[in-house]
Structure 1
């Protein structure tokens, strides 16, 4: 059984997609052991509690230095003996020590077709605003392994989504979540849990 930890900063819609997929049996041989957020008000923590999953808040603001926060985050991750760490809208830079320790065991979902609209500053609505500004006809989402760069690790899965006439960033964001993110993130976890990656 793959022991999964999910790191989130906001509403937790990707977390919900993971939990629903586990309940439906489309993610096999995996269990979410903990949900960790940097934001005490993140609705994702409520989603975890409703599912009987430990929900923890660890914020950089609560520590005297970034180094102390990084050490505390790695210690918290270690305490759950996780096999896979899923970044599902987690807006905190992952410490280098954690990437080194959990090499090829951290994955991220990004709301574009990497290498487009990724890297520093590209998160949330900003990605969709940039896609619409550029006039792309196809966007989508990418699941990738996390390395020391920003959105630069090896790609696991991608799914394309059409941009439609009259799209606003919010409408496009919702379509990318529904048609791509909520499908490929659970699929990637299932593939990892069952030795297909």
Structure 2
């Protein structure tokens, strides 16, 4: 059984989309959703989907090994960041080499880095007069939005776009492609034991 662990900080629509995609697929399971916010909407979505959750704080994530050891116990084939806004500590990245991925709501390497998420990204893309935007799925390293790119999909930036209208187009790309890319990565990977 391939084991996916999701990390999310917000409403969790991407996490829910991924969980639903794999719900009836044999051999793959979303075993846990972890969040750094006890009020995150993703926790309610997880409850409805009967997926276990764990909430952690900065101390547990950055200054202790609690989250690291918890992940090691879960032995995930893939750790998927779905709207998770904290930088993953190097010790976690090193413990799961090539097994942590993230989705970014723009075409990297442009418009990445700390603070480049949600509306901030879409506003920057529009203000800079870009003709297209999209999504980037990439491996996670110890810097924001810096890991090797796995997949990109594009959409136009239309005249009169607002951060909200562009976000809708980008979200559609996320929902369409992220689960499929995860499935492809898992197909190429042998289960650990």
- Scaled to the shorter chain, the TM-score interval is over 0.9
Paired with 2:21 and 2:54, the residues of 1 have a C-alpha distance of: 22
Moved over 4 A (4+): none
1:191 matched to 2:184: yes
The 10-residue stretch of structure 1 (74-83 or 38-47) with the greater mean CA deviation from structure 2: 74-83
TM-score normalised per structure 1: 0.90
Larger RCO (alpha carbons 8 Å, 6+ apart):
1
Asked if the contact 2:60/2:67 (under 8 Å) is kept, the reply is: no
Asked if the contact 2:60/2:66 (under 8 Å) is kept, the reply is: no
Q: How many residues are paired up? A: 190
Deviations 1:9-53 (A, max 9, x none): 00011112102211364xx63210000000011111111111111
1:32 to 25, 30, 35: 30
Counterpart for residue 124 of structure 1 = 118
Gaps of 5+ in 2: none
C-alpha RMSD of matched pairs (Å): 1.8
Asked if the contact 1:108/1:145 (under 8 Å) is kept, the reply is: yes
Asked if the contact 1:143/1:184 (under 8 Å) is kept, the reply is: no
Q: Secondary structure at the match of 1:153?
A: coil
Asked if the contact 1:141/1:176 (under 8 Å) is kept, the reply is: yes
TM-score normalised per structure 2: 0.92
Gaps of 5+ in 1: none
Q: Secondary structure at the match of 2:34?
A: strand
Paired with 1:65 and 1:123, the residues of 2 have a C-alpha distance of: 20
